[in-house]
């Protein structure tokens, strides 16, 4: 650049050239001259004005109340934000339910939602089956033993991509009209509710049990499923009353207010609630899907919302509005709605944490889309988070048909949903990203839930295709709050937003975040930054790091922050009566009556904060890569953070560590512990010294697994199963790298697994199949991609090009076994 400049302008003095270059260098490095300022005004000091919903709530035997107001839910008088993960017990082997519930808990889930599918339990009229994988009571009891609360979704219509939406086939032949107050239909519903009531007896919140909510019906007067009894090429015949056919949709979406039978729909919901109560199904909360003008019971059911960014019921890929901030309390997604939104808290029950692929549509949901979606929902005022699905599964097979909704073109068995916890219990990257927000919500809900949303002035003009403007919002109470930032948009090429500063106008002045320079917000990233945050009596004016968790042990209180990718962590404290002592990786400066703490980003940093009360608070700052490896573990009445690549499942005095593909792994514990943990197998050693962490290494006996397989023709693959699951392994994952249309897996000639190719390898957990077949062999059949296939729009461009060049495409590239190791670490 210097040489070019001199040659182009030979008469310019060298000192001027140097001055220009030096100025460019300073501007580039500091970003000061390039900072883009954004302003948001909360100086009016908006406060929530909750109005109690007297017909909702309940009390348990310990005298603890659950109450609901128009803003949020409280338990024991403390505001909470439920985080609900959907898991269907009938879609997962019951011998692994406890392990799966522990996985949900490890991810920060504090409530489980599950459907009771009528047709699975009463496949034949009058013969209810609650055994084995259908044992609803056992599932709820396991949730209770893991301190997880439950929402039971009792139907009678469920949807859930199940045949007929859960309505039994035999009901089609009865002289009745479904999903109405038809007396004969209600007779059968009452029989169902009575059976469910027997299973749930004694498990309700009022009994000291985990059931805090019951969902009545699903998407009533909004959407439906087609009857499974249909013929190829025949138009769908939806599971709705004749009167509702014209207003029924195939999927979640926006509906019109023009439903002449709206009052009848609300009345039917009242009837269902009365039948549930009569059957003993009594909970503090009754919920109803409220999106798209669906029916609710005003004042008696909590309307819940949804957001699916990657739907398969649309004709093509579209940019969704679900990454733009809005006030969800007054303007729910998929509005118009049938209720006064401000009368109820914004409670999301179906946030698409993945999606089911259909034969014709197979979008791949990126992991960064999920925490971005939750950031936007919480920033928009949501005080309840619910995922559909959080844990995938495999749908059971009926005597005469498949329970998965074949009419809609879903796989016959697989219900993986690309969920954070997959069909075989495998942990996806989205699991780790979401838990960072979950930990934050669980620890700071009492402060966050009463906060109201403030939006910037440009929000009404901002459209999904505008990726150049900063997307941001604030939730605050008085002068204190959280700044929400989001730089993700689905089905779009995102880019970095560099050198941005957000100026938050509060009573008495403006908080500049950051005070000097700007933030660099990476493409597809999001952040939640606190301002005027009370840290044990000391005012944190702002932090360019995100709160992760805290420890309230009086002997060793701490706060843990992480810096979102690309953002340098800086803490700005009011000077006052505060003393800050750096420990490692941090330095302090004072200017303008404020104390600034800047931390390194390549490794953990720490400092001690001592306020006017004399209590010393430890502050740990880590980068996002390390935060993604974080789990919470409690023992000896205290809480510790465990950082590891393994999955950590908490038990009373120990932790089950599941390590996929690695017989050696490390873990670190914060705060430090002073006794060596014990391991049930392998070798555990302490590694090195550290000011912040206790560090350990684990070595396990390696499992040498080499799959034996053969091909039969061009479409069939035979894979030998291990005779037993080796000691020390929790599972073995079979991975088939292929390119094709569909894959089907058979054991002893029976279809047990299938999938629609989405551009990634097919992964199957084997532990549920080992020792359950005669010939110990898995047989797979694949079909090729045909030219012009409708789903090519969702596949990688290279695959679509390959398919367009030939009549058919099928490649089976490789087969691997990946062991999942299990060890138990005990803490004294």
Q: Which of 171, 174, 175, 210 is nearest to 192 (CA)?
A: 171
Residues 288 and 427 in one domain: yes
Residues 491 and 441 in one domain: no
pTM, two decimal places: 0.95
End of a domain among 608, 628, 648?
628
What CATH number does residue 466 fall under? 2.102.20.10
Structural domain contains residue 659: no
Backbone angles phi, psi at 30, to 5 degrees: -85, -35
- Domain count within the chain: 4
Paired tokens of 682: 């392998």
Task: Decide: helix, strand or coil at residue 673.
Answer: coil
Paired tokens of 601: 């980003």
Residues 422 and 467 in one domain: no
The predicted-structure confidence for 517-566, as pLDDT tens digits, reads as follows 999 999 999 999 999 999 988 999 999 999 999 999 888 899 999 999 99
List the Cα angle 667/670/674 in 5-degree steps: 90
Structural domain contains residue 678: no
Q: Buried (b) or exposed (e) across 636-667, using 16+ Cβ within 10 A?
A: eeebbbbbbebbbbbeeebbbbbbbebbebeb
CA gap 817, 765 in Å, rounded? 10
| Residue with token string 């004749």 | 242
Structural domain contains residue 694: no
Residues 348 and 412 in one domain: yes
DSSP-derived secondary structure letter, 733: E
8 A C-beta contact, residue 169 and residue 228: yes
| Residue with token string 């919002």 | 473
End of a domain among 411, 446, 481?
446
Paired tokens of 488: 């993700």
CA gap 569, 252 in Å, rounded? 40
Structural domain contains residue 689: no
3-state secondary structure string, 277-291?
A: HHCCCCCCEEEEECH
What CATH number does residue 737 fall under? 2.60.120
Residues 148 and 286 in one domain: yes
DSSP E strands, 25-93? 36-41, 58-59, 65-68, 73-75, 78-80, 83-86
CA gap 437, 374 in Å, rounded? 8
Structural domain contains residue 53: no
DSSP E strands, 230-295? 285-289
Paired tokens of 766: 């084997």
Paired tokens of 421: 């916890």
Residues 349 and 480 in one domain: no
The predicted-structure confidence for 642-696, as pLDDT tens digits, reads as follows 999 999 998 877 899 999 999 999 999 999 998 899 999 999 999 988 999 999 9
Residues 432 and 477 in one domain: no
Residues 233 and 96 in one domain: yes
DSSP E strands, 389-463? 393-394, 414-415, 452-454
How far, CA to CA in Å, does 641 sit from each of 394, 627, 646, 698?
33, 10, 13, 17
CA gap 704, 679 in Å, rounded? 22
Estimate the share of the chain in helix, then strand, then coil, as percent rounded to the nearest 5.
20, 35, 45
Q: Buried (b) or exposed (e) across 367-403, using 16+ Cβ within 10 A?
A: bbbbbbbbbbbbbbbbbbbbbbbbbbbbbbeeeeebb
CA gap 639, 297 in Å, rounded? 42
CA gap 49, 667 in Å, rounded? 45
Low-confidence ranges of the chain (pLDDT < 50): 1-12, 15-33
Q: What domain range is 107 assigned to?
A: 58-446
Residues 486 and 621 in one domain: yes
Paired tokens of 468: 């150049």
CA gap 334, 251 in Å, rounded? 11
CA gap 300, 278 in Å, rounded? 16
Task: Decide: helix, strand or coil at residue 777.
Answer: strand
Q: Which of 158, 169, 181 is nearest to 265 (CA)?
A: 181
Q: Buried (b) or exposed (e) across 759-797, using 16+ Cβ within 10 A?
A: eeebbbbbbbbeeebeeebbbbbbebbeeebebbebbee
Write down the mean pLDDT value for the chain: 93
Structural domain contains residue 361: yes
Structural domain contains residue 646: no
Paired tokens of 712: 């039969």
Residues 442 and 467 in one domain: no
Helices 183-200 and 136-145: angle between axes, nearest 10 degrees = 40
How crowded is residue 336: how many other Cβ atoms within 10 Å of its Cβ? 15
List the Cα angle 587/592/598 in 5-degree steps: 20
End of a domain among 408, 426, 446?
446
The radius of gyration of the chain from alpha carbons, rounded to an integer in Å, stands at: 28
| Residue with token string 């060596």 | 676
Residue 324: what pLDDT? Answer: 98
- What is the enclosing helix (H) or strand (E) of 138? helix 136-145
Residues 102 and 191 in one domain: yes
* Ordered DSSP codes for 92-111: S-GGGHHHHHHHHHHTT--E
Residue 12: what pLDDT? Answer: 47
Structural domain contains residue 686: no
8 A C-beta contact, residue 349 and residue 82: no
8 A C-beta contact, residue 186 and residue 275: yes
Residues 182 and 284 in one domain: yes
């Amino acid at each position: 650049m210097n040489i070019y400049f001199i040659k182009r302008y030979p008469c310019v003095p060298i000192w001027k050239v140097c001055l220009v270059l030096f100025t460019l260098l300073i501007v580039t490095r500091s970003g000061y001259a390039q900072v883009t300022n954004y302003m948001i005004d909360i100086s009016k000091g908006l406060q929530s004005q909750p109005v109690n919903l007297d017909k909702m709530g309940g009390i348990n035997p310990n005298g603890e109340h659950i109450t609901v107001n128009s803003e949020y839910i409280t338990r024991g008088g403390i505001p909470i934000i439920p985080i609900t993960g959907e898991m269907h017990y009938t879609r997962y082997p019951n011998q692994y339910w406890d392990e799966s519930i522990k996985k949900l808990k490890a991810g920060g889930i504090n409530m489980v939602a599950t459907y009771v599918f009528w047709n699975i339990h009463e496949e034949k009229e009058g013969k209810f089956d609650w055994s084995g994988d259908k044992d609803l009571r056992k599932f709820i009891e396991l949730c209770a033993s893991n301190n997880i609360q439950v929402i039971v979704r009792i139907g009678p219509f469920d949807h859930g991509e199940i045949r007929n939406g859960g309505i039994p086939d035999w009901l089609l032949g009865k002289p009745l009209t479904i999903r109405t107050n038809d007396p004969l239909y209600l007779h059968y519903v009452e029989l169902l509710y009575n059976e469910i009531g027997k299973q749930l007896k004694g498990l309700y919140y009022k009994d000291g049990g985990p059931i805090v909510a019951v969902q009545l019906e699903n998407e009533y007067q909004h959407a439906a499923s087609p009857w499974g009894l249909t013929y190829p090429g025949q138009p769908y015949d939806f599971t709705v009353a004749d009167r509702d056919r014209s207003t029924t949709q195939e999927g979640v979406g926006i509906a019109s207010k023009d439903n002449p039978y709206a009052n009848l729909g609300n009345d039917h919901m009242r009837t269902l609630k009365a039948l549930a109560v009569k059957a003993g199904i009594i909970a503090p909360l009754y919920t109803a899907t409220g999106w798209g003008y669906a029916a609710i019971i005003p004042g008696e059911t909590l309307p819940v919302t949804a957001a699916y960014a990657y739907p398969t019921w649309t004709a093509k890929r579209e940019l969704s509005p679900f990454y733009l901030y809005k006030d969800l309390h007054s303007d729910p997604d998929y509005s118009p709605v049938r209720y006064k939104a401000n009368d109820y808290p914004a409670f999301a029950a179906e946030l698409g944490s993945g999606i089911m692929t259909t034969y014709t549509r197979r979008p791949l949901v990126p992991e960064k889309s999920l925490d971005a979606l939750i950031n936007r929902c919480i920033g928009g005022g949501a005080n309840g988070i619910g995922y559909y699905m959080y844990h995938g599964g495999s749908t059971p097979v009926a005597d005469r048909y498949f329970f998965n909704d074949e009419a809609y073109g879903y796989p016959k068995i697989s219900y993986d949903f690309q969920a954070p916890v997959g069909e075989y219990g495998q942990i996806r990257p989205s699991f780790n990203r979401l838990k960072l927000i979950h930990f934050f919500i669980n620890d700071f809900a009492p402060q966050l839930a009463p906060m109201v949303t403030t939006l910037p002035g440009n929000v009404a003009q901002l459209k999904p295709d505008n990726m150049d403007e900063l997307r941001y919002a604030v939730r605050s109470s008085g002068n204190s709050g959280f700044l929400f930032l989001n730089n993700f948009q689905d089905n779009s090429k995102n880019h970095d937003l560099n050198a941005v500063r957000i100026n938050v106008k509060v009573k008495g002045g403006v908080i500049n975040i950051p005070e000097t320079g700007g933030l660099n917000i990476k493409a597809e990233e999001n952040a939640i930054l606190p301002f005027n945050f009370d840290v044990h009596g000391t005012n944190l004016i702002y932090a360019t790091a995100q709160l992760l968790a805290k420890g309230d042990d009086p002997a060793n209180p701490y706060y843990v922050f992480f810096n979102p990718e690309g953002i340098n962590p800086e803490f700005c404290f009011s000077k006052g009566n505060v003393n800050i002592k750096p420990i490692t990786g941090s330095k302090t400066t004072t200017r303008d009556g404020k104390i600034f703490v800047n931390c390194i980003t390549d490794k953990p940093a720490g400092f001690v904060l001592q306020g006017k009360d004399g209590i010393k608070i430890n502050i740990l700052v880590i980068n996002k890569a390390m935060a993604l490896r974080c789990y919470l573990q409690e023992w000896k009445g205290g809480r510790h953070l465990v950082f590891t690549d393994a999955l950590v499942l908490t038990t009373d005095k120990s932790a089950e560590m599941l390590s996929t593909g690695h017989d050696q792994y490390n873990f670190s514990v914060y705060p430090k512990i002073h006794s060596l943990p014990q391991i049930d197998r392998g070798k555990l050693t302490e590694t090195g010294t550290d000011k912040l962490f206790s560090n350990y290494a684990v070595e396990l006996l390696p499992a040498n697994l080499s799959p034996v397989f053969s091909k039969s023709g061009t479409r069939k693959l035979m894979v030998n199963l291990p005779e037993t699951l080796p000691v020390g392994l929790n599972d073995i994952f079979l991975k088939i790298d292929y390119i094709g249309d569909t894959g089907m897996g058979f054991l002893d000639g029976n279809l047990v697994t299938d999938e629609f190719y989405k551009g990634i390898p097919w992964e199957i957990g084997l532990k549920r199949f080992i020792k359950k077949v005669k010939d110990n062999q898995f047989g797979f059949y694949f079909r090729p991609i045909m030219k012009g296939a409708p789903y090519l729009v969702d596949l990688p461009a290279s695959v679509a090009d390959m398919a367009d060049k030939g009549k058919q495409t099928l490649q089976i590239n490789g087969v691997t076994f990946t062991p999942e190791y299990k060890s138990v670490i005990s803490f004294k």
